[in-house]
C-alpha cells in the first residue's frame, strides 16, 4: 500500500539544509537557502553571514551604484528563499531592465541588480509597485515577516511572475528525459503561479525536422503539459541573435575571428599532440581586423575572461566554479551569420523573460559559458537548476533499446499520462516517502530542493506498477474511452475498432470493474476483454483446452440444464446455481468454475466467471457452454 502524499499543512515542517563545509574549489553546496537563518536588519550581522552566491548584501553595493528603476524600465524581483516558508524572511534580488526588450532589436540596457532583505516596503510595493519604486531607499532596509505561504506566493506572483521554458531541439521525438524536464518546468511554473514557455531550438537546419516538432508538441499535449502562447522558433530569431552578437563586438566584448576550419583543426591537433586541452588560442582577440585575410568570412567570438573563475549558483548542483583558464573564446556567431546554441539560448531566455531555467545537467558546463555571455551583455542570468540525466536500466546512457523511446511509444504501450507523470516526477525528485502523487499534489509539493544530484535509471516495472494503480483507480467509462483512443495509435487498432460495436462497448464497460483489476496497461485491458470480441466457436488456448477434458465437459453438461432454466441471467443467479450444484455433488467450486471459464472465454484466466457470464448475456454464454461440451 502506498502512502499518499501529504499536502503542506498551514505550518509545513521546516527542512533545514546546511551547506557542506568549505574546502577546495567547491565553495559551498548551496542547496539550502541561507535565508533560513533569519537575516538581521543590522548591517553588522548581515555582513557576518554567508558571503558568496547570488545574494549580495544590500550594504555591499555603494548607494550610487544602485540606480533605481525609472519610467520605461521593467523591474524583476526574484525570490531567493523558499517562498513557502512562513515566518522566514525573504531576500529578493531585483534586476532592472529596459522596458520592451522582449523581441525588440534595441540594444539592451545594462541590467542592474540589487538585493534586499524583504523590507516593509514590500507590501507597499505590491500596492502600486512601479510608481512607488523610485521612492525606495535601499539602505533603509527594515524587516518584514511574511505571514503565510499564500501571502508569499501572492506577493511574488505580483512582482515576479515565474517564467520557465522547455527548449527541446527538434532532431527527434520527445524522449523520456525531455518529458521529465518539461514536467519539472511545468510543475515549477504551476507551483509558483507562473508560466511555461515552449521554445523549439531549431537552429541546426540540417537535423531539425517539422515531423520532430510535431512529435514533441503531440507528446507534450498527450502528457498533459501545457505552455503559454505559441511555440517560439529559435531559428526565426536569428536576426536578433546576430544583432546582439554584433553589438557585443561594437562594445568590445566580442571580436571577429578569421580563422579557417583548417586552421582551427591544426590548433586542436597541435594542442592534443602537446597534451594540452584543445582550446582556441585567442589569436584574433586583440588583432586588428585590418589584418583580416581576403575572402574569409569571420565568425564572432566572445571575449572570455582569462583569469579567475566563473561561478554558477545552481539550485540543484549548488555552487559550482569553473576555472576561466579552461573556458576559451568560443564562437557566438558563425561565419555564415547564424548564432551558435550558446548564444541563442542566452538571448532567447533573456528576451522571453525566463526567470528559472530547469534543464538536464549535460548543460551544466555550458552554463559557465552562458554566464560569460550574460556578463558581457550586462544581463542578469536567470536562476538555473540542472537536473541529473536519466539512464537506461543497465546504467548506461539511455539508448533506443531501453528508455529512449518517444513518449508516443509509451502511449502505444498503454500507459496513462497520469501514471507517466507520477513515475517521472519521482525519478530524481522526492518529497519524503510520498510515492503516489496526483497532479494537484505534485503541483503543490514540487520544489527544486527535492531534486537529487545523482542520475537515475529508468525502470519499466515500476512504471507498470504505477500504471496499474491508476488504471484501477480510473473511472470505468473513462478507461473505455482511453482504450478506444489508444486504438488510433496501435497496430491492428483499426481492425479492432471495426469490431467494436455499441454492444461490445457496453459489454466492455460492464466488464471493466473485473478487467481493470487485472491490467497494468491499457493494452492488457484490451487483451483481457478479448473474450468479448471472440466469435463462436471459440478457439481455446492450451490451458483452456486442458480444462475442457472429460471431467470438465461432464461438469458443464451437468450444469447446463440448470443454467438454461434460470429465469434471471445475473451473476448472482448463475453463481447460486453453480454453488448449489457443487455442494450437492461435493465437487470443489473450481472444478466447475474453471471449465466454465474456459468455455466462456477460451482461456484459463479471466475476471470472475459469473461476471463474465453476465456480461456475455444469456444466449451467448449458453451458446459458448454448449460449444464446449
Q: Are 101 and 1 in contact (CB under 8 A)?
A: no
SS (H, E, C) 296-333: CCCEEEECCCCCCEEEEEECCCEEEEEEHHHCCCCEEE
331-333 and 318-323 strand pairing: unpaired
SS (H, E, C) 158-210: HHCCCEEEECCCCCCCCEHHHHHHHHHHHHHHHHCCCEEEEEECCCCCCCCCH
d(CA 623, CA 418): 41
How many beta carbons lie within 10 A of that of residue 18, not counting itself? 12
User: Site for RNA (CB under 7 A): which residue of 114, 280, 410, 415?
Assistant: 280
- Distance of CA 244 to CAs 109, 312, 344, 345, 367, Å? 12, 23, 10, 12, 19
Q: How near is the Cβ of 397 to RNA at its closest, in Å? A: 4
User: Site for RNA (CB under 7 A): which residue of 193, 308, 513, 590?
Assistant: 590
Active-site residue (options: 110, 221, 400, 462): 400
- Binding positions for RNA, 547-586, rule CB under 7 A: 575
- Binding positions for RNA, 517-546, rule CB under 7 A: 517-518
Q: Are 452 and 194 in contact (CB under 8 A)?
A: no
- Binding positions for RNA, 240-269, rule CB under 7 A: 257, 259-261, 264, 268
User: Site for RNA (CB under 7 A): which residue of 105, 132, 283, 397?
Assistant: 397
Give whichever of 6 and 457 is closer to RNA, judged by the CB atom. Answer: 457
C-alpha cell, 485: 483512443
Q: How near is the Cβ of 595 to RNA at its closest, in Å? A: 10
Verify binding: residue 452, RNA, rule CB under 7 A: yes
C-alpha cell, 258: 578569421
User: Site for RNA (CB under 7 A): which residue of 430, 485, 494, 572?
Assistant: 430
Q: Is 467 left (phi over 0), alpha (psi -120 to 50) or beta?
A: alpha
User: Site for RNA (CB under 7 A): which residue of 10, 13, 23, 291?
Assistant: 23
Give whichever of 23 and 252 is closer to RNA, judged by the CB atom. Answer: 23
- Residue for grid cell 509597485: 129
Task: With contacts defined by CB under 7 A, name the span among 89-97, 99-107, 145-153, 317-325 that binds RNA.
Answer: 317-325
User: Site for RNA (CB under 7 A): which residue of 60, 233, 335, 439?
Assistant: 335
- Binding positions for RNA, 338-357, rule CB under 7 A: 338, 340-342
Verify binding: residue 388, RNA, rule CB under 7 A: yes
Q: How near is the Cβ of 498 to RNA at its closest, in Å? A: 28
Q: How near is the Cβ of 371 to RNA at its closest, in Å? A: 13
C-alpha cell, 459: 525502470
**Which residues, at least 6 apart from 97, have a Cβ–Cβ distance to it below 8 Å?**
73, 74, 76, 108, 109, 111, 379, 380
User: Site for RNA (CB under 7 A): which residue of 330, 374, 446, 508?
Assistant: 330
- Binding positions for RNA, 28-67, rule CB under 7 A: 29, 32
Which run of H or E residues covers position 238? helix 238-250
Task: With contacts defined by CB under 7 A, name the span among 15-23, 88-96, 407-415, 476-484 that binds RNA.
Answer: 15-23
User: Site for RNA (CB under 7 A): which residue of 326, 440, 549, 564?
Assistant: 326
Task: With contacts defined by CB under 7 A, name the span among 34-42, 90-98, 147-155, 420-428 that binds RNA.
Answer: 420-428
Entry field: residues in the chain:
629
- Binding positions for RNA, 467-486, rule CB under 7 A: 468-469, 472
- Distance of CA 268 to CAs 275, 277, 315, 359, Å? 10, 8, 35, 30
Q: How near is the Cβ of 250 to RNA at its closest, in Å? A: 20
Angle at 135 between CA 133 and CA 141, to 5 degrees: 90
User: Site for RNA (CB under 7 A): which residue of 103, 432, 513, 537?
Assistant: 432
User: Site for RNA (CB under 7 A): which residue of 291, 294, 336, 502?
Assistant: 336
Verify binding: residue 396, RNA, rule CB under 7 A: yes
Q: How near is the Cβ of 353 to RNA at its closest, in Å? A: 20
Which run of H or E residues covers position 526? helix 522-528
C-alpha cell, 508: 466492455
DSSP state of 278: -
- Binding positions for RNA, 490-519, rule CB under 7 A: 517-518
Q: Are 90 and 38 in contact (CB under 8 A)?
A: no
Q: How near is the Cβ of 616 to RNA at its closest, in Å? A: 14
Site string for RNA, 74-113 (x = CB under 7 A): ----------------------------------------
User: Site for RNA (CB under 7 A): which residue of 227, 426, 467, 544?
Assistant: 426
Task: With contacts defined by CB under 7 A, name the span among 71-79, 244-252, 456-464, 479-487 that binds RNA.
Answer: 456-464
Report CA 427 to chain centroid distance, whole Å.
10
Max intra-chain CA distance, the chain? 108
Report CA 165 to chain centroid distance, whole Å.
10
How many beta carbons lie within 10 A of that of residue 546, not counting itself? 13
The question of whether 400 is a catalytic residue gets the answer yes
- Binding positions for RNA, 114-173, rule CB under 7 A: 169
Verify binding: residue 295, RNA, rule CB under 7 A: no
Q: How near is the Cβ of 64 to RNA at its closest, in Å? A: 36
Interface with RNA (CB under 7 A), residue total 101
Verify binding: residue 457, RNA, rule CB under 7 A: yes
How many beta carbons lie within 10 A of that of residue 540, not counting itself? 19
C-alpha cell, 154: 501572492
Beta bridge partners of 4: 436
- Binding positions for RNA, 178-217, rule CB under 7 A: 201-204, 207
Task: With contacts defined by CB under 7 A, name the span among 37-45, 65-73, 275-283, 616-624 that binds RNA.
Answer: 275-283
Give whichever of 30 and 356 is closer to RNA, judged by the CB atom. Answer: 30
Catalytic residues: 400
Amino acid at each position: 500500500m502506498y502512502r499518499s502524499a501529504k499536502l503542506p499543512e498551514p505550518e509545513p515542517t521546516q527542512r533545514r539544509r546546511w551547506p557542506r563545509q568549505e574546502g577546495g574549489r567547491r565553495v559551498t553546496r548551496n542547496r539550502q537557502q541561507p535565508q533560513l537563518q533569519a537575516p538581521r536588519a543590522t548591517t553588522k550581522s548581515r555582513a557576518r553571514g554567508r558571503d558568496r552566491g547570488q545574494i549580495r548584501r544590500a550594504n555591499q553595493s555603494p548607494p550610487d551604484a544602485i540606480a533605481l528603476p525609472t519610467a520605461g524600465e521593467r523591474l524583476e524581483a526574484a525570490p531567493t528563499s523558499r517562498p513557502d516558508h512562513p515566518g522566514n524572511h525573504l531576500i529578493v534580488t531585483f534586476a532592472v531592465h529596459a522596458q520592451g526588450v522582449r523581441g525588440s532589436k534595441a540594444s539592451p540596457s545594462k541590467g542592474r541588480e540589487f538585493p534586499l532583505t524583504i523590507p516593509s516596503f514590500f507590501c507597499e510595493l505590491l500596492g502600486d509597485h512601479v510608481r512607488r519604486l523610485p521612492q525606495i531607499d535601499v539602505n533603509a532596509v527594515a524587516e518584514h515577516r511574511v505571514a503565510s505561504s499564500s501571502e508569499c506566493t501572492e506577493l511574488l506572483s505580483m512582482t515576479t511572475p515565474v517564467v520557465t521554458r522547455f527548449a527541446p531541439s527538434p532532431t527527434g521525438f520527445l524522449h523520456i528525459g525531455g518529458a521529465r524536464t518539461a514536467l519539472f518546468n511545468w510543475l515549477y511554473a504551476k507551483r509558483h503561479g507562473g508560466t511555461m514557455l515552449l521554445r523549439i531550438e531549431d537552429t541546426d537546419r540540417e537535423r531539425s525536422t517539422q515531423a520532430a516538432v510535431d512529435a514533441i508538441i503531440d507528446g507534450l499535449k498527450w502528457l498533459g503539459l501545457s505552455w503559454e502562447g505559441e511555440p517560439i522558433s529559435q531559428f526565426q530569431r536569428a536576426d536578433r541573435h546576430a544583432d546582439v552578437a554584433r553589438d557585443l563586438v561594437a562594445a568590445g566584448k566580442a571580436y571577429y575571428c578569421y580563422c579557417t576550419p583548417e586552421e582551427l583543426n591544426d590548433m586542436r591537433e597541435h594542442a592534443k599532440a602537446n597534451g594540452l586541452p584543445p582550446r582556441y588560442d585567442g589569436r584574433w582577440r586583440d588583432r586588428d581586423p585590418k589584418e583580416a585575410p581576403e575572402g574569409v568570412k569571420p565568425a564572432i567570438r566572445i571575449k572570455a575572461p582569462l583569469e579567475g573563475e566563473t561561478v554558477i549558483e545552481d539550485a540543484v548542483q549548488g555552487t559550482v566554479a569553473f576555472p576561466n583558464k579552461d573556458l576559451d573564446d568560443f564562437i557566438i556567431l558563425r561565419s555564415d551569420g547564424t548564432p551558435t546554441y550558446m548564444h541563442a539560448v542566452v538571448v532567447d531566455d533573456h528576451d522571453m523573460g525566463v526567470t528559472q531555467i530547469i534543464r538536464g545537467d549535460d548543460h551544466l558546463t555550458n552554463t559557465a559559458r552562458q554566464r560569460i555571455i550574460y556578463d558581457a551583455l550586462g544581463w542578469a542570468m536567470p536562476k538555473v537548476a540542472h537536473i541529473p540525466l536519466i539512464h537506461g536500466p543497465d546504467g548506461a546512457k539511455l539508448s533506443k533499446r531501453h528508455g529512449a523511446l518517444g513518449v508516443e511509444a509509451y502511449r502505444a504501450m498503454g500507459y496513462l499520462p497520469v501514471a507517466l507523470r507520477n513515475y517521472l516526477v519521482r525519478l530524481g525528485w522526492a518529497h519524503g516517502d510520498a510515492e503516489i502523487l496526483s497532479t494537484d499534489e505534485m503541483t503543490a509539493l514540487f520544489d527544486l530542493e527535492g531534486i537529487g544530484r545523482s542520475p537515475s535509471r529508468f525502470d519499466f516495472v515500476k512504471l507498470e506498477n504505477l500504471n496499474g494503480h491508476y488504471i484501477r483507480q480510473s473511472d470505468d467509462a473513462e478507461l473505455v474511452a482511453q482504450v478506444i483512443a489508444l486504438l488510433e495509435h496501435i497496430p491492428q487498432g483499426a481492425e479492432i475498432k471495426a469490431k467494436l460495436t455499441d454492444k461490445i462497448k457496453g459489454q466492455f464497460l460492464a466488464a471493466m470493474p473485473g478487467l481493470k483489476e487485472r491490467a497494468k496497461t491499457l493494452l492488457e485491458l484490451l487483451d483481457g476483454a478479448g473474450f468479448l470480441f471472440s466469435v463462436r466457436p471459440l478457439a481455446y488456448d492450451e490451458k483452456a483446452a486442458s480444462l475442457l477434458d472429460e471431467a470438465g465437459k461432464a461438469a458443464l453438461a451437468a450444469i447446463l440444464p440448470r443454467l438454461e432454466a434460470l429465469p434471471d441471467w445475473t451473476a448472482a443467479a448463475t453463481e447460486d446455481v453453480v454453488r448449489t450444484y457443487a455442494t450437492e455433488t461435493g465437487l470443489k467450486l473450481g472444478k466447475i468454475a474453471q471449465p466454465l471459464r474456459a468455455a466462456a472465454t477460451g482461456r484459463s484466466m479471466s475476471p470472475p466467471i459469473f461476471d463474465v457470464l453476465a456480461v456475455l448475456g444469456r444466449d451467448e454464454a449458453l451458446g459458448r457452454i454448449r460449444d464446449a461440451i
